[in-house]
Amino acid sequence: MSTFSNLLHRSYLEVPDKVSIVLQHAGEADQEITYRQLILGANQYALSYAREELKPGEVVLLILQHGQDLTFAFWGAILHGVIPAIMPFLSEKLSPERYRADLASLISITKPSAIITSAEFEEEARSALVPGDSIRKIIVTNTIETQSEPDFESLPGMKAMPDDIVILQHSSGTTGLQKGVALSHKAVLNQLEAYSKAINLDAEKDVIVSWLPLYHDMGLISCFLMPVLLRVPVIEMSPFDWVRAPYKLMQSVSQYKGTLSWLPNFAYNFCANKIRERNLEDVDLSSWRAIINCSEPVHAESHKLFVEKFEKFGLRPNTLQTSYAMAENVFGVTQSLLEAGPTVDEIDRESFMKNRVATPPITGQPSMKILSSGRLLDNTKIRIINENGEDIPDRLIGEIMLQSNCMLTGYYNRPDATESVLRNGWYITGDIGYLADGELYVSGRKKDMIIVGGKNIYPQDLETLTSEVPGVHPGRTVAFGMYDEEAGTEEVVIIAEVDSEEASEQEVIADAIRKHVTKSSAIALRHVKVVGEKWIVKTSSGKIARSANKEKFIGELKS
């Protein structure tokens, strides 16, 4: 079994002039990085870590924006044998006070030895430190060692063992008390072997194009570790540039003949709604062979919008694929068959929402379409269990458990959290879904469940219904529960973003939401808030942040 550092060394010797990464920044020429340049840059950071007396096995936090320094700092950590953890960068959407508090909280749990950051962020990083914490060094990118040929025999990372922890992945959202997923060399490489096989990855033919941030598993694994370690060229653009100009993704795919990309579900809607055809002149998307949706649950309507918008530019409908992925399994758990595409399961809406069973549609009754997340990777097993922990048959909805040879070593410095999610060698995902004909359908998160009068209600179901109402932005809805002391149970609150800012029109839409959700679900909906664009809070990976939206809603009630 190999390690990250062994693979880097091999690429340095065997393909030094092959382009590994192309970095894109708005308004600048694209920057190609060959494997030789990658190792030379990484070695500068490895020497800097040695100078600062960081010890192999210690954790370092990388708080850096998209670019060369983040790339070199990460791979330098691998060569030196320290464990890199990439953190979200403070943006205009985040409160500086909250960011500092979250960073300080993470430091208290993870106990890193150093922070690597840029000169402009150094003061911000220092403001999160408290007396007696674990941080010994703040390494600023303008103080690293000069470039020199690597002495591989003296690099501590070359002595790493397959079972050693190589990276920490933190879940999406704020950094706070969220758990650091500790992954070994062996776990990551087992994942890459199984996942690359599932997508027929070809180092000579494939080109990955991505805007995804590297602090989330989708970007880190599929669009950074996998291409670099398996010698597949990757085109990386800044997430901030993509948000401002999403058409740049299409232009890059066309320019570099990109074949593979990964997107969260919201990005399909965002691209379809925001990109103007004037920005797609001469764009050719026919080289794309797979665009893989890794958000759970995934939505067929989002794929439909995307195809309708971009098919005229060469996009083939069967290019849109799905995967169920999570940091605790390194990345992928399932993958749709690229030859056929994801299955759409049309089921009876009432049976699904009230009885939690996926049955065929009934003539004359409302139905709904669920998009499959694909079939299991070769190295992975799945069980669907009920509330008593018992396996249940296909098409019954329950909690998803998984087992593989690429699962997490544990939550770093959190044995309590690790113990709570592992049961006899199985990982309890907390996700809800069902199996049918060998494919997995994911419908939501167990922790998001709302209990109304003893009935289990999943907010994702209500959000889907809300998105069906004319005037509501699909994918820009959020449902959550609030305890009603008088009723002794939770009441459902739904918030929906709409185009209109006219109070009278918003009230008409709110009333339509109440009627549609009440008619189509197991609840009588009363509390609907219709809002303008950009009200709803999402996580750093684009998922609905239910607790944050609930806090915002309560805050507005009190103000």
Give residue-wise pLDDT tens across range 195-252. Answer: 999 999 999 999 999 999 999 899 999 999 999 999 999 999 999 999 999 999 999 9
How far is the first Cα of the chain from the last one, in angstroms, to the nearest whole number?
Answer: 59
Neighbouring CB atoms inside 10 A of 405's CB total 12
Provide the token pair at 423: 């049961």
Phi first, then psi: give them for residue 380, nearest 5 degrees. -125, 145
Contact of 525 with 515, CB cutoff 8 Å: no
Q: Measured between alpha carbons, how far is 220 from 47 in angstroms, rounded to an integer?
A: 24
Q: What is the rounded average pLDDT of the residues 475-496?
A: 80
Provide the token pair at 533: 């664009």
Neighbouring CB atoms inside 10 A of 517's CB total 24
Instruction: Tell the CATH topology of 342-446.
Output: Luciferase; domain 3 (2.30.38)
Q: Quick check: 175 pLDDT over 90?
A: no
User: Biggest alpha carbon distance in the chain?
Assistant: 73
Q: Quick check: 173 pLDDT over 60?
A: no
User: Domain 4-234 classified CATH 3.40.630.10?
Assistant: no
396 vs 487, which has greater pLDDT?
396
Residue 458's pLDDT is 77
Provide the token pair at 445: 């998160």
> Edge-to-edge, what's the strand order for the sheet holding 137-140?
83-86, 59-63, 114-117, 137-140
CA angle, residues 12, 18, 23, in degrees to nearest 5: 105
pLDDT band per the 50, 70, 90 thresholds, residue 178: low
Contact of 403 with 427, CB cutoff 8 Å: yes
Q: Quick check: 171 pLDDT over 80?
A: no
Residue 489's pLDDT is 64
For residue 56, the 8-state DSSP code is T
Per the rule left: phi > 0, alpha: psi between -120 and 50, beta: everything else, 367 is beta
398-404 and 426-436 beta bridge pairing: antiparallel
Residue 12's pLDDT is 98
Residue 159's pLDDT is 97
Provide the token pair at 532: 């303008």
The alpha carbon of 531 is separated from its chain's Cα centroid by a whole number of angstroms, namely 26
Q: What is the rounded average pLDDT of the residues 501-526?
A: 86
User: Mind listing the pLDDT tens digit for each residue in 84-103?
Assistant: 999 988 876 666 887 888 88
The pTM is what?
0.86
Q: Quick check: 320 pLDDT over 80?
A: yes
Ranges of each domain in the chain? 4-234, 342-446, 449-558
The alpha carbon of 138 is separated from its chain's Cα centroid by a whole number of angstroms, namely 28
Q: What is the rounded average pLDDT of the residues 410-429?
A: 93
User: Mind listing the pLDDT tens digit for each residue in 250-276?
Assistant: 999 999 999 999 998 888 988 999 999
SS3 276: coil
- Looking at domain 449-558, what is its CATH homologous superfamily? ANL, C-terminal domain (3.30.300.30)
Taking alpha carbons only, the member of 402, 379, 394 closest to residue 437 is 394
Q: Quick check: 540 pLDDT over 70?
A: no
Mean pLDDT of the chain: 91
Q: Quick check: 177 pLDDT over 70?
A: no
